[in-house]
Amino acid sequence: MDQKVTSKALLGELLDKHYQDAIDAKARGKLVAWSTSIAPQELLETMNIKVVYPENHAAAIGARKCAQEFIDDSESKGYSIDLCSYARVNLGYMSIRDSIAGNIPMPDFIFCCNNICNTVIKWYENIAKDLGVPIILFDMPFNHTYEVQEHSVKYIRGQFEDAIAKLEEISGEKFDYDRFREVMAVSSETARWWKKATSLAASVPSPLNGFDLFNYMATIVCMRGKQEGLNLFKLWAEELQEKIRNGEGPWKTGEEKYRIMWDGIACWPYLSDTYKTLKNHGINMVTSTYPDSWTIVYESNDIDGMARAYSSNYVNRNLDYGVDNIAGIVKEFSLDGIIYHSNRSCKLMDFRQYEVQRRVRERTGVPSVIFDGDQTDPRAFSLAQYETRIQTLVEMMEQRKQEGRCER
């Protein structure tokens, strides 16, 4: 045990443990919840209730290239091809209940928050109805104003209080407010370290190969309220700082020629294809709009602050914020270009994408491309189309760098 554990190895261990703990809890007759990816997990952690995240699980199934079986199952039940593919994978998993990507126990109740997506409510309602289990719903209204309004904060706070009462009823145990304060503190601290680690990619060259972000993201979803999660992100930040000190770039071989941002979710079934196409051109995805969703930071014991933080997720905020956010990222991370993933599954993210692209382009002058794909449905992506768009982006970035001079 002299060898220092890397954050990557620790990440794998923590994820395995996360799933195993949930399976063990279920076997011992303990409660298990299914939750959306950016829900107030603090409440569940306080009550020591094990949680699994169907979106995380669906992404893992997608990345293991075995989503089709689950998608076929749910489509044959009548779920439309136009629905989110995470939903189709998960609704298929509910009947198949076995995957090489790992298994999750069935839930005793549903924990659903619509700050990430408006249609997710219907998906989770269907799970609850199918399984005959209770649902705790957090309605976080879309912020048409730039900042979260006070009336929304009050509305959300009321829902937190209501959820606590429901959790006490479901579990038959009292909610421990002292423990809640501790969990809030750990959650905020973990989110801070997550932000710190991901921000280190602003160094040139970036010590971080951005596709690693997608891996670490699985843990910020499910480990935010835990000390282990906090330790992981501290370790990761240290490793990245060490790389910066040594002047190391994102890869063992190959130079970081272009720095780009990826807007939206990954194409999990084509993770390595999409990555290799970029790497072959020397493109490093240094950051993405997506990971910042878990930078949920507030003062401990400040429930209003917690309500505001959960409602502030970028997909829950208005167009002006969306544009400012990306324009800010372009500057902070010294970007050469932007790739927008027009994700067939995610209407919420795609809806304003063309307008965001137009405004960001106008404001920053940085070239960008939009490609069509999907987060988990392997049928909705064409590698040749992706390659052409990426190569065009390279040509535009190169033009901008060299002003017409030919480079070979």
Q: Binder to other proteins among 134, 231, 342, 352 (CB under 8 A)?
A: 342
At its nearest, how many Å lie between other proteins and the CB of residue 372? 4
Q: Is 358 in the site for other proteins (CB under 8 A)?
A: yes
CB atoms within 10 A of CB 298: 20
Q: Is 82 in the site for other proteins (CB under 8 A)?
A: no
Segment contacting other proteins by CB under 8 A, of 89-97, 124-132, 200-208, 382-390: 382-390
Helix (H) or strand (E) holding 52, with range, is strand 50-52
Query: Residues 269-308: x/- map of binding to other proteins (CB under 8 A)?
Result: ----------------------------------------
* Sheet containing 368-373, strands listed edge to edge, beginning at the edge strand earlier in sequence: 283-288, 258-263, 337-343, 368-373
Q: Is 391 in the site for other proteins (CB under 8 A)?
A: yes
CA angle 11, 16, 21 (to 5 degrees): 125
Q: Binder to other proteins among 107, 322, 367, 378 (CB under 8 A)?
A: 367
Segment contacting other proteins by CB under 8 A, of 71-79, 143-151, 308-316, 392-400: 392-400
- Report the C-alpha gap between 397 and 375 in whole angstroms: 26
Q: Which is nearer to other proteins, 126 or 277 (CB)?
A: 277
| Residues whose CB falls within 8 Å of the CB of residue 156, separated by 6 or more in sequence, listed in order | 138, 139, 140, 307, 310, 311
CB atoms within 10 A of CB 4: 8
Q: Which is nearer to other proteins, 247 or 365 (CB)?
A: 365
Q: Which is nearer to other proteins, 82 or 178 (CB)?
A: 82
Q: Is 396 in the site for other proteins (CB under 8 A)?
A: yes
Q: Which is nearer to other proteins, 3 or 80 (CB)?
A: 80
At its nearest, how many Å lie between other proteins and the CB of residue 119? 21
- Report the C-alpha gap between 149 and 143 in whole angstroms: 8
Distance of CA 244 to the CA centre of its chain: 25
Q: How far is CA 379 from CA 5, 76, 120, in A?
A: 38, 16, 22
At its nearest, how many Å lie between other proteins and the CB of residue 92? 23
Per-residue b/e over 328-346, b at no fewer than 16 CB within 10 Å? ebbeebebbbbbbbbbbbb
Residues that bind other proteins (rule: CB under 8 A) add up to a total of 24
Q: Is 351 in the site for other proteins (CB under 8 A)?
A: no
Q: Is 406 in the site for other proteins (CB under 8 A)?
A: yes
By CB under 8 A, the residues from 165 to 184 that bind other proteins are none
Task: Confirm if 5 and 89 have CB atoms less than 8 A apart.
Answer: no
259 three-state secondary structure? strand
Nearest to 36 by CA among 117, 133, 157, 94: 117
Q: Binder to other proteins among 354, 375, 376, 377 (CB under 8 A)?
A: 354
Q: Which is nearer to other proteins, 166 or 361 (CB)?
A: 361
Task: Confirm if 274 and 371 have CB atoms less than 8 A apart.
Answer: no
283 three-state secondary structure? strand
Q: Which is nearer to other proteins, 97 or 363 (CB)?
A: 363
Segment contacting other proteins by CB under 8 A, of 148-156, 232-240, 249-257, 367-375: 367-375
Q: Binder to other proteins among 16, 122, 392, 401 (CB under 8 A)?
A: 392
Helix (H) or strand (E) holding 342, with range, is strand 337-343
At its nearest, how many Å lie between other proteins and the CB of residue 329? 19
Q: Is 119 in the site for other proteins (CB under 8 A)?
A: no
Q: Is 402 in the site for other proteins (CB under 8 A)?
A: no
Which positions touch other proteins (CB under 8 A)?
342, 354, 358, 361, 367-370, 372, 380, 382, 384-385, 387-389, 391-392, 395-396, 399, 404, 406, 408
